[in-house]
Amino acid sequence: MMTFVMFSLFWTVIYIAENQLEIISLHHWLDAEAERFVDDYRVNQAETPLPDSDEFSSYWSESQMPDWLLPYNQPGFYEHLLGEEDKHFIVFHHPSGQGLMYILFQDDADDYLDGYEDSLHAFTFLFGLLVSLCMALYGIYFVRTISKPLGIIENKVAQMPPDQPYFTVETAYSETREIEQTLLDSKNNIAGFFQREKEFSRFASHELRTPIMVIKGSSELLSKVPNQPPVALKAIDRINKASEEMRILTETFLLLGKETVEAHHFGEHDLEQKLRQQLEALAPLFAKQDASYDLRVLASKVIDAPESFITIIINNLIKNAFSYSVGDIYIQLAADTLTIINRHEAMKPTMPVMVVGW
């Protein structure tokens, strides 16, 4: 749209310039005739011949003249539409010092200039066309000059991930070089962040698993001690369960911190089997709250996922349902959808705690 407006404005200027050049040429001719008459009058005085009557009409305000010239009583160039004829004429002080002199073209006397005017129009048109072509070519060159570094920057945006190779600042303009440098600095920061994250995960994996294994090993040794009182055995069992929960949570957090989970962490697990295992493990929770559950398995499904993910999701759903329930909870497994419904005051059923699908 902006380009169209610019070209329209340019050709409007060309059109106006053509008309003005035509008027200038006519005025120059009239001015030359007026100067010649003044110069001749200095020599010949009253006997000075008037301009060529075949081409011009000459009038003196001190003698008879057409009425339509009377309003033009100041020196200058004028244009007057007389019928269908466009009259161009000049008004100047008569060299005698009395009145005004009028020199105007005879009807169609300036037609011999048509060839010159046509040449002038043709030259102006060709010049305008050449300028337009140059402007278009320069516009294309300018756009390509700007789009090339922008294309380079676009390609470098795709190289921002840490697994992509590093790039260098290569564009020629200071503005685009600054953008490239900013992208490069951001890529370095991102790569450093991922490197620190990777090192932390490796460090945390070792430092978190080690005490858990120590606790688990110690509880296993304690369980082998003979003749222990029931209280001690109960405490050892709680330690074993707590260490197992810590192991699962640690495994899950470490996996969640990775960009991608390796294939060896995945396994095929039957949802019904995992659900029943967790319900059995959470049996003390039911007994403590003097509550129970109603399990209904419509269909089961084997899914491919990390075991710790499945365990934590099922445990959290069941624990949350019991924590905010008055009475028993309803559990339903339908293929890949697990629905758990608890009840609140007045035994009104609530919305499902969560629907989980794989």
Confidence tier at 150 by pLDDT (50, 70, 90) = confident
- Does residue 134 belong to any structural domain of this protein? no
- Give the mean model confidence (pLDDT) for residues 36-51: 84
Which of the 8 DSSP states describes residue 225? S
Residues near 344 by beta carbon (within 8 Å), at least 6 away in sequence = 324, 325, 326, 350
CA dihedral 312, 314, 319, 325 (to 10 degrees): 160
| Confidence category of residue 3, pLDDT binned at 50, 70, 90 | low
Q: What is the DSSP code (8-state) at residue 262? A: -
Residue 56 located in a structural domain: yes
pLDDT digits (tens, 9 = 90+) for 58-92: 888 888 888 888 888 888 888 888 777 778 888 89
The answer on 14 and 99 residing in a single domain is yes
Query: How many residues are recorded in the chain?
Result: 358
15 against 315, higher pLDDT: 315
70-to-53, 91, 343 alpha-carbon distances in Å: 21, 11, 109
- Residue 353: its pLDDT value, please? 41
Per-residue model confidence as pLDDT tens digits over 268-306: 989 899 989 888 888 877 777 777 888 899 988 898 888
Same domain, 182 and 234: yes
Listed in order, strand segments (DSSP E) in 67-181 are: 76-82, 85-93, 100-105
Whether 261 maps to a domain, the answer reads no
* Per-residue confidence (pLDDT) for residue 350, from 0 to 100: 44
Residue 253: how many CA atoms within 13 Å on its side-chain side? 14
Mean pLDDT of the chain: 80
7 & 89 share domain: yes
Name the pLDDT band for 195 (thresholds 50, 70, 90).
Answer: confident
Please indicate, yes or no, whether residues 117 and 183 belong to a single structural domain of this protein.
no
* Cα–Cα distance, 189 to 252 (Å, whole number): 27
Same domain, 250 and 278: no
Is 157 within a domain?
no
Q: Are residues 230 and 317 in the same domain?
A: no
Query: CB 100: neighbour CB atoms within 10 A?
Result: 18
Structure token pair of residue 212: 């858990």
Same domain, yes or no, for 105 and 6?
Answer: yes
Same domain (yes/no): 346, 290: yes
146 in a structural domain: no
Boundary of a domain, candidates 256, 284, 303: 256
Question: Which residue among 92, 107, 125 closes a domain?
Answer: 125
- pLDDT tens digits for range 305-336: 888 888 888 888 888 888 777 778 888 999 88
Higher model confidence: residue 352 or residue 304? 304
Res 20: pLDDT: 65
Q: Which of 91, 109, 125 is the last residue of a domain?
A: 125
Statement to judge: residues 240 and 292 lie in one domain: no
pLDDT above 50: residue 352: no
Place of tokens 């081409």: 55
Find how far residue 3's CA is from the centre of its chain. Answer: 21
Q: Is residue 77 assigned to a domain?
A: yes
- 5: Cβ contacts below 8 Å, ≥ 6 apart: none
Question: Number of folded domains in the chain?
Answer: 3
Inter-residue contact 277 to 312 (CB < 8 Å): no
What is the domain range of residue 185? 175-256
pLDDT surpasses 70 at 14: no
